[in-house]
Structure 1
Amino acid sequence: MKRNVLLGIAAAALLVSAPSRATQLITEEEAKLPPPKGAVEVQQRGILRGPKVEFVSPGDAASSPLRLVLKFQSYGGAKVDPNSVKVIFLRTPNVDLTPRVKPFVQADGINMQDAELPPGEYTVRVDIKDSDGRPGTAVFTLKVAPK
């Protein structure tokens, strides 16, 4: 009985001392970079055969760490190529977030459970291609509330 209690205490101590599993998406230094001039959200209209990127989560303003979810949709039997995904934080100069997001990319989207960002508004562009080489792009704004 004492051994089980000691094992339980040791396991709890490991959980408490374990590092955070949050992934730093945007650093404080990157957040301080000046925004680009004329960057706005883009709504694609018309009939496009290229893949589509849909921003799903977070909603309006979420606290960090937040869940970042994007869905990819392809057309005409083509598949989204996960290796083609590029994620860019639009600043001057732009910051390539692709290596930080890559472990969370799948053919149907991005599901990043604990993305760490400082409070603020961040314009992000996601570029993808399908197996037929057709491009798709989405630009969205992440709004991060203070903790």
Structure 2
Amino acid sequence: MTLLFTTANTRIFLLVANLFFGTLAGPEAGDLTLGPAIKVIAPKENMVQIAPFDIDIRFEQRGAAVVDLASLKILLIKLWNVDITDRMKPYASGDGIHLTHADFPKGQHTIKIAIADHEGHESSRTMPVMVQ
């Protein structure tokens, strides 16, 4: 008997295993969905940022399903969630979010980005940002 491990099969296995055993390392850490990949190019993780700084986030479609920009949701997570989607949409396109000279206040921030493809597969990513 031959077992074929395709990328799609691996993702499905990881999704099911994640339900039973908790987080497992997938194709990328924290990337266990069938929706578009969300890759943070800048700001670099675990690095203190000095405002203003650049934000470069890439969306990569998986398979034939195209990224659905209308599904984009960006939250600033504090004591309560603040929806900043409308403020960030001018800098978003089907391939990502590209913003130069982002002016964030000093402090620790957590940003959650969620997006889906036209088949309804959703992905989300949470990124911490420390600004001095």
TM bin (shorter chain): 0.7 to 0.9
8 Å CA contact 2:51, 2:131 repeated in 1: yes
For residues 79-130 of structure 1, give each alpha carbon's deviation from its aligned partner in whole angstroms, at most 9, with x where no partner exists: 1111111100111221111011000000010001121111111011001010
2:103 is equivalent to residue 103 of structure 1 = no
Gaps of 5+ in 2: 1-28
Is 2:105 aligned against 1:115?
Answer: no
1:86 aligns with 2:73: yes
Q: Unaligned regions of 5+ residues in structure 1, if any?
A: 1-42
The percentage of aligned residue pairs carrying the same residue is 28
Offset at residue 51 of structure 1 (A): 1.1
TM-score by length of 2: 0.72
Displacement of 1:45 after TM fit? Answer: 4.9
Give the counterpart of 2:42 among 57, 73, 78: 57
Q: How does 1:1-147 map to 2 (within 5 A)?
A: 43-46=29-32, 48-59=33-44, 60-145=47-132
Aligned partners of 2:52, 2:73: CA distance in 1, in Å? 21
Q: TM-score, normalised by structure 1?
A: 0.65
- Aligned-pair RMSD on alpha carbons? 1.3
Once the two structures are superposed, residues 42-95 of structure 1 have per-residue CA deviations (whole angstroms, 9 ceiling, x without a partner) of x4255x321111111022112111101111111111111111111001112211
In the TM superposition, structure 1's runs of 4+ consecutive aligned residues that sit over 6 Å from their partners are none
CA distance in 1, matches of 2:126, 2:31: 14
Tell me the matched-pair count.
102
Distance in 1 (CA, whole Å) between partners of 2:40 and 2:125 is: 8
Identify the residue that residue 12 of structure 1 maps to in structure 2.
none
